[in-house]
Structure 1
């Protein structure tokens, strides 16, 4: 027995030792000297205490090659999974369950567009040369080091990264903004199947008259519902970043304590492990930038130095139109366009499937764009649904735009750089140390025929789907050095004479920011700006509840419920961890939506609608309209009204919270019901979640408050899905000491000390200094020519 126990101890020790050696072999190297092929001169990479690299090179090609090298050693799996998602190649490593996602992304034609964009590039341009140097660095690291642990688990064989991969990811980012695949089918269903009067709560009384010229059949509606679901699942199932919204503001020196402009920004993106941004400081003769980089992109999407800086928010302009084509009864491969039967183009692609047979896709394209419901196969219905997408229909020199943006130290240079971004639509909020502030909405906005509302599916056989050209960049919303002394961008519909169709966020978040920034008695600095970024209140809850309070008082039963209603009546709409009102309101909001709308929309369309931004604006309007047709419950034995629906919603609210969080309302604290977990793409499969996911953490804030830690409308508990992907504050009196935050950690390598070292401090609202310039190095890696 002793010999057996001794042998067991030895076996365990060997296994532990082998595991330790295996893990150590996967970790990034942050000190010593390494030879890298293609370098012209040594590059110094100093790492700070958070694992952020500060690169010092003697020339620009070496700088970008070194960036690719260190970016790859921290984030190679993120690069791999992002390019596979964008190019429709996930099933090759994840199996048959990812075929629908691959099929969707193949149908979007991102791969083909990326190839076309690469061909159009000037291969002598500085942006192209920088990209090639960066990719060479990525590929150099991949070719000379052990595969990441995720590659081993999934059996991924490394292959070189290309410019087409980088441009494909740009296409994915453009698509992840697009709400059209969910919103347009849902609103068209409501208009055509329920009646235009149901659109009142969506503020869409100005829609084109009547339904589609050729009514959609039941099979077509089922296919559109499935398409919306597939689109939504493709963006959520893999724990990859999805762009949702953002805050950014710039304050002129006349309004700051330091007398210099102050820039703030926190783009709202889906949470994941690793975090979306890779921080790095780049320095070479004549160039310095502290940047925030995405996978396979050598140009910072956010950045600053001592002279200038910028943040971005999502424009939310509608740059996708879904178009119902009218097929020829005599030939289903023709559709009616401008009075003529036009043939559909055909192509074929093959999806490799891990552990299964390859899947062959037959893709079609009409004169309006790719047919997107072909992804559903035999369940697609008889009506082809085409997609017009600005990403496919513009030149979009986005590489040149961001290369210029990384160097834009004047208003003129910034304006010129922003004009190069055609899709996705972005708001750039910018400031410099000279005292200028500015905002530009960057996108190529299509000119649609008068009266066309692209919030609905358009009729391809009419002129609705026509595009009459694009507006010039000068017509886009923008401000430069406004008299107010500040600029706010928060995803709401921009003011101006020209209405711009889009899927905008509620004005509440922007209104809260504007109200505080407009106070001329406040001198802004990084301290009070932190408080503003971390603010957890808005007037959405109180204004939604206001017209229902009398009814809630009438339907509440017993002293405990009546006290809960009175607490809601006094609630100011804030979401700290200890709030009970926040929990009760959020549950009630879902139950109100379900009780009022599920009977009309059913199990298919109700979840689609509540996944859109349209529901956010609709629910306060619904609450205020006692005569809305939504209050009449279909199939009920007696007609119902707002009071009856509110009674059901309140009863369900209390019942669900007691079941989910306990009988005592004192235990219904927001932090118990609202939590943040950073999910890794492999963490969706138990027990790998224990190895790769980070969290959960109790999370303050909510949807559409400045600290926009957001969960979807639904029953408690609420897992946070997106929020500030970083929080940045730059006072240009001392931009070298700017503040930043990372939701998880700098590294994407499991078991690395920087994999999750910032997660808890982030959710608590802490900031770190960016430490630009000659910082005390925690460790130094020296990259030298050779290899």
Structure 2
């Protein structure tokens, strides 16, 4: 027995020693790629010395005697901290993920190859102005200097992920940076999915008048009645019962997110007349999908035109949202309708031809080979019509609205081979006034944005990006797919930059945008029929008008506001026949749970606080209510409506234009009222909460389900590793609060917070060094770095770090200084 015990002890010790050695080896090799921020390094491709000073939050402050040296330093810093992220983004836009990740990403690669964005980026290099070309070349040289250092000094392949995935790294090129901009356009794409969904709903709804309920227009006049899609498209009636087709949107590596999670943002500015300090103010928090690390990276560049500081995206030499000493700028998604789906009729005698206004013409075709790890390569035939690339029916459910003998193509402003968006971004960074920024904005192509501006004297807002010129007789006004062979459905170039909406020196002293409707203009100058917000703007307007003057702190308060105007509007409307009408009921019964829930909601002010039960009850109720309203009419198509549409609920319960008809279950004999459906939906919600949370109603907490999911796109689902690479935090806010925290809308937990403000910045030009900013994770993409998640807690608590151009302040608490020297020094 003693002998057995001794052998067991020996085996246990041996196993522990072996595990320790393995862990130690893993840590050693992974830690080799941790950047050393305090060093001197001689590099190729550099003409003047560069100093990269890292402040206490690891924000690089980059100095050189010329701008090329500064952009070189930014490329080097990006590659130090976010090399894996940059390489994955480049492979994504190239359509080459499958070379590394295998069959799981083949569909993503196929789609990106069909859009051909990387070829368009390469062609666009020559369209940039001389200063931009110099910046792109210097930035690429900085990235490549870091790659050379990694190879020369065996620095753990540059990132821990490189040990797990065989990813050969080619040198960085100027085209790669332009390609990253085009990838951002893909991530912000929403019009394609919206057009397809509108067409599918038009086919599915027996009463076509109800389409305006389920996909309501933003408040305002001037929108005409929609045609029936079946009337627009020969043969579309055969698609009425077609089921949905899976796409590539579910993989964390996919840039395609669908209409519910495409894009959003907040931005506003106040003139001196509305500022307590007497200087202009600007606040900006762009919204994108959460990830670990964040897509955002903070940096300060000391250019010959002056210092700029703010949010960059690794891969691009741009400060996209930030300030100089004289100008602040922010971006919000404009929701410009910059994409149309065109249905191309195939030649029945030759499917390699399609109908045009001048008869059948051949597609432009090209073969593309996709290499797949551990599998045979796939050869793809890329087809383009005069309207744009032909997409497969599986993407965005295009097959469900494409009649037999037809294919779907897309016209999209991002498919420009002379794209000067990069030059616009560089021009904006060098601008010293609103006027100069407006001039720079003319070169923006895609993605279209609202540019919020503040110089020392005034504020302004301008929509930038190419606006398609459509014919006034367009069959669907761009709201649904249309026949590509019809001349008046085709684009006729672009509108002039002057047609883009602008608001300069407003009389009220404040400009801003929450993705809300900006203008009311007749088609085709309408900008868009689909806008990203009808709710947050109501709260923003109230907060701006509550004060005669604002301050940096009041702008921060507005950014972090978690009061839901939507909840305050819908709850009294939906529950009007339920409040205080319940009878006494035994504990544990459905009636008692309903009574308790209504009692809590009756005293709630609409604040989506993570510690309260009311936000969870409200969200579960509205979700169940929309499901009850639409499922009988739409069947499986109801699954596409992943998020609650507040205007739809409001139209139904106010019976706008007969919308109350949605409350009656068409497959049942009794005639249900809206009060009946509201009561049943509340019971559905409470049953779901009881089954999934297993606790008393009053003990629920919104934050238990509403967790921000900053997940690693590749390692985030790997057992054990996910606990190290994912950053999860309970959060306040919701779909329709200014502190936007968009829920997933599907899955076992539809209330996960997956989309929001990964960057926040507030700029005060009375005291610029009191300006502040923060990102949602940390500067480093290296999981072993203390800067991987050191800003995550600040972000969750609504705290910020200083945004200072004062070099002495940055140097006072620096974590290191890197000096890059040209060869020969």
Kindly tell me: are residues 616 and 550 of structure 1, through their superposed partners in 2, closer, same or farther at Cα, counting changes over 3 Å? closer
Q: Which residue of 1 aligns with 2:612?
A: 579
Larger mean CA deviation between 19-28 and 100-109 belongs to 19-28
Q: Does 1:296 align with 2:296?
A: no
- The structure-2 alpha-carbon separation of the partners of 1:373 and 1:24, relative to structure 1 and needing over 3 Å to count, comes to closer
Distance in 1 separating the partners of 2:721 and 2:633? 38
Q: CA deviation at 1:543?
A: 1.7
Partner of 1:598: helix, strand, or coil? helix
In structure 2, the partner of 1:599 is: 632
| Matched residue SS, 2:250 | helix
Give matches, 1:486-525, under 5 Å.
486-497=510-521, 498-521=525-548, 523-525=549-551
Paired residues for 1:162-561 under 5 Å? 162-194=173-205, 195-201=207-213, 202-203=215-216, 206-208=225-227, 211-216=231-236, 222=242, 225-226=244-245, 229-230=246-247, 232-233=249-250, 244-338=263-357, 340-373=359-392, 382-393=405-416, 395-433=418-456, 435-450=457-472, 452-497=476-521, 498-521=525-548, 523-553=549-579, 558-561=591-594
3-state DSSP class of the match of 2:81? helix
2:252 and 2:318 map into 1 onto residues whose CA distance is 24
1:132-185 Cα offsets, whole Å, 9 max, x none, are 110111012112213111121111111112222222221121122121232211
2:132 matched residue in structure 1:
127
Stretches of structure 2 lacking an aligned partner (at least 5 in a row): 1-5, 218-223, 584-589
Alpha-carbon separation, structure 1, partners of 2:111 and 2:663: 36
Query: 1 CA distance for matches of 2:109 and 2:550?
Result: 48
Q: Quick check: 1:427–1:441 contact (8 Å CA) kept in 2?
A: yes
- Write the deviation string for residues 190-240 of structure 1: whole angstroms up to 9, x where unpaired: 1123242221313366213563231326569748x32xx525336775899
- Kindly indicate whether the alpha-carbon contact (under 8 Å) linking 1:103 and 1:375 is maintained by their aligned counterparts in 2: no
Residue 238 of structure 1 contacts residue 684 of structure 1 at CA under 8 Å; is this kept in 2?
Answer: no
* 8 Å Cα contact 1:677-1:693 kept in structure 2: no
Judge which range, 245-254 or 461-470, deviates more.
461-470
Q: CA RMSD in A?
A: 2.7
Partner Cα separation in structure 1 for residue 324 and residue 249 of structure 2: 37
Cα deviation for residue 421 of structure 1 reads 0.5
Aligned residue number for residue 139 of structure 1: 144
Greater mean alpha carbon deviation, residues 585-594 or residues 662-671: 662-671
Query: d(CA) in 1 for partners of 2:711 and 2:616?
Result: 24
- Structure 1 segment 48-63 matched on structure 2, within 5 A: 48-63=55-70
2:822 aligns with: 785
Contact kept, 8 Å, 1:107 with 1:375, in 2: the verdict is no
- Of the three residues 61, 64, 80, the one matched with 2:71 is 64
Post-superposition Cα deviations, 1:441-464, rounded to whole Å, max 9, x if no partner, equal: 002212222254322111224345
Equivalent residue number for residue 761 of structure 1: 794
Q: How many angstroms does 1:116 deviate by? A: 2.1
CA contact (8 A) 2:582 2:591 kept: no
Residues 648-659 of structure 1 mapped to structure 2, 5 A cutoff = 648-659=680-691
CA distance in 2, matches of 1:240, 1:592: 25
Q: Structure 1 residues 741 and 131 mapped into 2: Cα distance closer, same or farther (>3 Å)? A: same
- Whether contact under 8 Å (1:47, 1:53) holds in the other structure is yes
Structure-2 separation of matches of 1:158 and 1:692: 25
Deviation of 1:312 after TM superposition, in Å, equals 0.6
Q: Of 608, 617, 621, which residue of structure 1 is paired with 2:640?
A: 608
Matches within 5 A, 1:678-717: 678-687=710-719, 689-714=721-746, 716=749
Change (3 A) 1:172 1:634: farther
The CA deviation at 1:16 is 4.2
3-state SS, counterpart of residue 384 of structure 1: strand
The change in CA–CA distance for 1:618 and 1:461 in structure 2 (over 3 A counts) is farther
- Cα displacement (A) at 1:542: 2.4
CA distance in 2, matches of 1:336, 1:32: 63
Decide whether aligned partners of structure 1 residues 374 and 709 sit closer, same or farther in structure 2, where only a CA change above 3 A counts: closer
CA distance in 2, matches of 1:567, 1:740: 36
Contact 2:310 2:773 in 1 (8 A): no
Matched, 1:86 2:116: no
1:54-95: CA deviation from partner (whole Å, max 9, x where unpaired): 111111111111111111010000001111112211111111
Distance in 1 of aligned mates of 2:653 and 2:111 = 37
Structure 2 match to 1:620: 650
TM-score (norm 2): 0.89
1:771 aligns with 2:823: no
1:513 deviation in Å? Answer: 1.2
* 220 and 20 in structure 1: CA distance in 2 versus 1, 3 angstrom threshold: same
TM-score (norm 1): 0.93
Map of 2:164 onto structure 1:
153
Report Cα offsets for 1:691-732 as digits up to 9, x if no partner: 553332110011121110111335756111111111111111
- 8 Å CA contact 1:92, 1:353 repeated in 2: yes
Q: 1:222 to 1:69 in 2, by over 3 A?
A: farther
Other structure's SS at 2:47 match:
coil
More displaced stretch, 318-327 vs 652-661: 318-327
Q: C-alpha separation between the residues in 1 aligned to 2:330 and 2:198?
A: 33
CA–CA separation in structure 2 for the residues paired with 1:310 and 1:492: 19
State which drifts further: 628-637 or 276-285.
628-637
- Deviation for aligned residue 1:424: 0.9
Greater displacement, 206-215 / 743-752: 206-215
- The 8 Å contact of residues 324 and 385 in structure 1, kept in 2 or not, is answered as yes
The equivalent residue for 2:586 is none
Report the 3-state secondary structure (helix = DSSP H, G, I; strand = E; otherwise coil) of the residue aligned with 1:392. Answer: coil
Residues 247-277 of structure 1, C-alpha deviations (whole Å, 9 max, x = no match): 1111111111210001111111111011111
Kindly provide the CA deviation profile for residues 84-129 of structure 1, in whole angstroms up to 9, marking residues without a partner as x: 112211111111011111111112221222122124345xx01011
The superposition leaves residues 652-702 of structure 1 with CA deviations (integer Å, 9 ceiling, x where unpaired) of: 111001112224111222111211121011234321543553332110011
Equivalent residue of 1:409, what SS?
coil
| Cα deviation, residue 282, structure 1 | 1.2
The alpha-carbon distance between structure 1 residues 284 and 341, as it changes in their structure 2 partners (threshold 3 A), is closer
User: Equivalents in 2 of 1:677, 1:397: separation in Å?
Assistant: 34
8 Å CA contact retained: 1:182, 1:232: no
CA contact (8 A) 2:271 2:509 kept: yes
Contact 2:369-2:380 within 8 A present in 1 as well: yes
Shift of 1:520: 4.8
Q: Is the 8 A contact 1:682 1:689 kept in 2?
A: no
- SS of the residue corresponding to residue 141 of structure 2 reads helix
Q: Shift in Å at residue 12 of structure 1?
A: 4.8
Deviation, structure 1 residue 383: 2.4
**Aligned 8 A contact 2:125 2:133 in 1:** no
Deviates more, 1:258-267 or 1:546-555: 546-555
How far off is 1:637 after superposition? 4.8
Instruction: Work out whether residues 702 and 708 of structure 1, in 8 Å CA contact, stay in contact via their aligned partners in 2.
Output: yes
Verify the 8 A CA contact 1:680 1:689 in the aligned structure 2: no
Residue 378 of structure 1 deviates from its aligned partner by 10
Partner of 1:158: helix, strand, or coil? coil
Q: Hey, what's the Cα distance between the residues in 1 that align with 2:666 and 2:744?
A: 26
